[in-house]
Structure 1
């Protein structure tokens, strides 16, 4: 549903489709709780695998940097205790320099770390924005390639796509069961 809605917008944007996709991805990054895989899927359908992946990567990277600045300005004032539920994010919040850089890079590489929370923790830490931008962007490369490949396989609906979707479904059900306990 979201994918077709977004595809309609890309079609209507014509020569500004790339810019529109990056803006949408940035907006989704700022919201922090909406997954961006549907934008990745639409980008792959509309622009092709490699160009769609590159556009999604640019959007997510720019979105993380913009979010970092917005969070740094606002979230500290409005909700400073939101990170207390996540011990690994608290650790990032209390580090700086090279250690913070490595933690952000590692958390971006870890596929199950919520991107918005990583950005929030980075924004509330002592890391410099440039170090955050580099670590975050480098960490997004393998994560987005994995996401793009998975989305592409599901879109193609071949055996690999079916296996990926089945594994993802089992993972989601498993997480829900664990959280309920």
Structure 2
């Protein structure tokens, strides 16, 4: 079903010509701001439209742009709303000081190893003491590997005969990163509940 949806979306966008190409790029921004579908589906549609390397570039640039928009909007206009949304993550408050000192490192690492969803990272960084420079650079560094991985998965799903080995390796790496992220999320949540 996911394959059919991605294929249908990419065909619909491709049929619109250059407008569809622009729409595919803007879908990445919208997905970053309103994550109602998995990013890998949008990434897959774009690699079908643009090809693997240009699709990755579109996914990367526009996902970073969406993250910056979410961060600056939440930081300047929605601080109280964001704090209420993130209240369920007890460990976030205790990390505020660390993020002030080492924000670039933590933002980059949390993008590569998904501890909390990307949307949560954008909002959490906005209400904590993450410097804007650290958020931007950490996002640019950290998003590249995961977006490349998701773009490869999206691409190779539709070219399974040619790239079966690479797809399985990418999926294995993706799941390993999810397991590591889940381990740290559980660890930090437990530590936060004890404090």
User: TM-score scaled by structure 1?
Assistant: 0.78
Match of 2:158, SS state, is: helix
Give 2:63's match in structure 1, choosing from 60, 65, 70.
60
Contact 2:14 2:21 in 1 (8 A): no
The alpha-carbon deviation at position 33 of structure 1 amounts to 4.5
4+ long deviations beyond 3 Å: 87-98, 158-165
The alpha-carbon deviation at position 76 of structure 1 amounts to 1.9
Whether 1:35 aligns to 2:57 is no
Q: Which range is displaced more, 119-128 or 14-23?
A: 14-23
The alpha-carbon deviation at position 31 of structure 1 amounts to 1.1
Partner of 1:178: none
Whether 1:119 aligns to 2:111 is no
Match of 2:130, SS state, is: coil
| Distance of aligned partners of 1:103 and 1:91 in 2 relative to their CA distance in 1, 3 Å threshold | farther
Structure 2: 5+ residue stretches without partners: 183-195
The alpha-carbon deviation at position 146 of structure 1 amounts to 1.5
Q: Which range is displaced more, 91-100 or 51-60?
A: 91-100
The alpha-carbon deviation at position 128 of structure 1 amounts to 2.7
Matches of 2:77 and 2:5, distance apart in 1: 29
Matches of 1:14 and 1:27, distance apart in 2: 20
What is the root-mean-square deviation in Å for CA atoms of aligned residues? 2.9
The number of aligned residues is 171
The alpha-carbon deviation at position 90 of structure 1 amounts to 3.3
| Distance of aligned partners of 1:34 and 1:87 in 2 relative to their CA distance in 1, 3 Å threshold | farther
Q: Deviations over 1:21-40 (max 9, x none)?
A: 22111111111453211111
User: Relative contact order (C-alpha < 8 Å, sep 6+): which is higher?
Assistant: 2
Contact 2:111 2:143 in 1 (8 A): yes
